[in-house]
């Protein structure tokens, strides 16, 4: 397969927003004589903490990697027509991309201060989560954004269910997309059983506590119990009613967890219908490539996608039938999608207007191809 496509989207994601209003406002919406800017805080796929600044007046961006103490900056262009809402950043001959929901979230695959960081996600630095604990609480579907080997293979990804309590505790159930179970049991998301039964009758694989940070209130202090003690991690949340995104930076070399909150009842195609824009990272020939795209979800009609790769080449096509994963209220599957001569299974996870995805080779079940994140714009 050439550098063409591999959809999901989330997203990583780097995915995961018309979630109503967000606490705190942002720095955007410049007035006459002032720059139209926004700041975001989040994580990148190696597990680095990063902050982003977007200046829509000068069409420029800046990134500070808090983990490596390095900086990146440059200019972008706004794509038009099919990919309107996607920012394009060109470094040398390579095209990178970002999707921003102003003063809400950003998903990007442009450089962030470490070569191993190929996808990142952030929430508005202006958010104040101190009064949104009850909105953050809930059950999340998550995927780990990382190039770590799972069950002995980088072609396997870790995903699962996260239960966040308003009392300040959390429990996490871990699965793998395939493999021998040496790290996590292999579980196809579409085959997972009833979530309430799982969380009631099966002990969580990991537990801990969480609180809103006392200084940067878009951030969370997440404590995780380990066999040797307690590990302190940094989390981030975007909360608005039942439409929340929850992420945890898992530390250097470990990537980050990106979760989207489950709705109280299963979404239907009508609930998520619309056109979404996303950024992604896809893998082929032992290397990874940044891309971006869009797809249109209809209420029972023909769903379609478009994709632009790291060279700027564009493809598109049909997605086929959208099938809900019966026991995960915000997850759907497109099965056997033909993309440039190969068939793929695409899982999408949605909450409000945020979306993330992960894609697998349909002929080698569980063999990872891409993931991404974005939003309805």
Res 41: pLDDT: 98
Res 242: pLDDT: 60
The residues, any chain, with a CB within 8 Å of residue 102's CB and separated by 6 or more, are 26, 28, 29, 38, 56
Six token digits for residue 297: 């979800």
Distance CA(155)–CA(178), nearest Å, equals: 9
DSSP letters, 147-173, are: ---BTTBTT--EEEEEEE-TTSEEEEE
Res 181: pLDDT: 83
Inter-residue long-range contacts of 311-316, CB under 8 Å, 24+ positions, other chains counted: 311/3, 311/93, 311/94, 311/95, 312/95, 313/2, 313/3, 313/4, 314/82, 315/4, 315/5, 315/339, 315/340, 316/82
Q: What is the Cα Rg of the chain in Å?
A: 19
- H-helix segments, 203-347: 269-272
Class of domain 129-261: mainly beta
Distance CA(185)–CA(307), nearest Å, equals: 33
Res 175: pLDDT: 96
Domain ranges of the chain: 129-261
Contact indicator for 241, 17 with CB cutoff of 8 Å: no
Six token digits for residue 92: 């040398």
Res 48: pLDDT: 98
> What is the helix, strand, coil percentage profile of the chain, to 5?
5, 50, 45
Res 33: pLDDT: 60
- Three-state secondary structure call for residue 7: coil
Res 27: pLDDT: 47
Six token digits for residue 23: 């606490």
Residue 60: DSSP 8-state: E
Walk along the chain (377 residues) and give the pLDDT tens digit of each residue.
Answer: 334 433 333 333 333 333 333 334 444 555 556 889 999 999 999 999 999 999 999 999 999 999 999 999 999 999 999 999 999 999 999 999 999 999 999 999 999 999 999 999 999 999 999 999 999 999 999 999 999 999 998 888 999 999 999 999 999 999 998 888 889 999 999 899 999 999 999 999 999 999 999 999 999 999 999 888 899 999 999 998 667 899 999 999 999 999 999 999 999 999 999 999 999 999 988 889 999 999 999 988 889 999 999 999 999 999 998 999 999 999 999 999 999 889 999 999 999 989 999 999 998 877 899 999 999 98
């Amino acid at each position: 397969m050439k550098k063409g496509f591999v959809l999901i989207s989330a997203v990583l994601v780097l995915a995961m927003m018309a979630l109503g209003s967000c606490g705190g406002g942002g720095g955007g919406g410049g007035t006459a004589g002032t720059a139209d800017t926004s700041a975001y805080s989040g994580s990148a796929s190696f597990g680095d903490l990063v902050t982003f600044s977007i200046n829509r007046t000068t069409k420029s961006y800046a990134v500070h990697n808090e983990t490596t103490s390095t900086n990146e900056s440059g200019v972008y262009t706004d794509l038009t027509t099919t990919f309107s809402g996607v920012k394009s950043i060109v470094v040398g001959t390579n095209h990178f991309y970002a999707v921003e929901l102003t003063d809400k979230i950003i998903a990007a695959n442009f450089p962030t201060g470490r070569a191993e960081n190929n996808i990142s996600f952030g929430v508005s630095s202006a958010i104040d989560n101190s009064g949104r604990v009850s909105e953050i609480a809930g059950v999340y579907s998550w995927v780990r954004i990382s190039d770590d080997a799972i069950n002995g293979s980088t072609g396997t990804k870790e995903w699962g269910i996260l239960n966040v309590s308003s009392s300040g505790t959390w429990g996490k159930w871990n699965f793998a997309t395939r493999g021998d179970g040496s790290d996590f049991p292999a579980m196809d998301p579409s085959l997972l059983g009833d979530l309430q039964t799982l969380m009631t009758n099966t002990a969580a694989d990991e537990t801990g506590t969480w609180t809103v940070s006392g200084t940067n209130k878009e951030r969370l202090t997440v404590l995780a119990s380990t066999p040797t003690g307690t590990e302190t991690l940094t989390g981030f949340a975007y909360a608005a009613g039942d439409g929340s995104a929850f992420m945890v930076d898992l530390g250097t070399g470990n990537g980050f967890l990106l979760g989207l909150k489950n709705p109280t009842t299963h979404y239907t195609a009508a609930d998520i219908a619309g056109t979404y824009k996303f950024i992604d990272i896809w893998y082929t020939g032992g290397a990874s490539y940044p891309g971006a795209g869009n797809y249109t979800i209809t209420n029972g009609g023909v769903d379609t996608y478009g994709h632009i790769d790291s060279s700027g080449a564009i493809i598109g096509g049909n997605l086929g039938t959208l099938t809900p994963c019966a026991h995960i209220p915000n997850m759907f599957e497109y099965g056997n999608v033909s993309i440039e001569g190969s068939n793929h299974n695409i899982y999408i996870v949605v909450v409000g207007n945020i979306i993330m995805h992960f894609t697998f080779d349909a002929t080698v079940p569980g063999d990872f191809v891409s993931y991404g994140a974005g939003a309805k714009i």
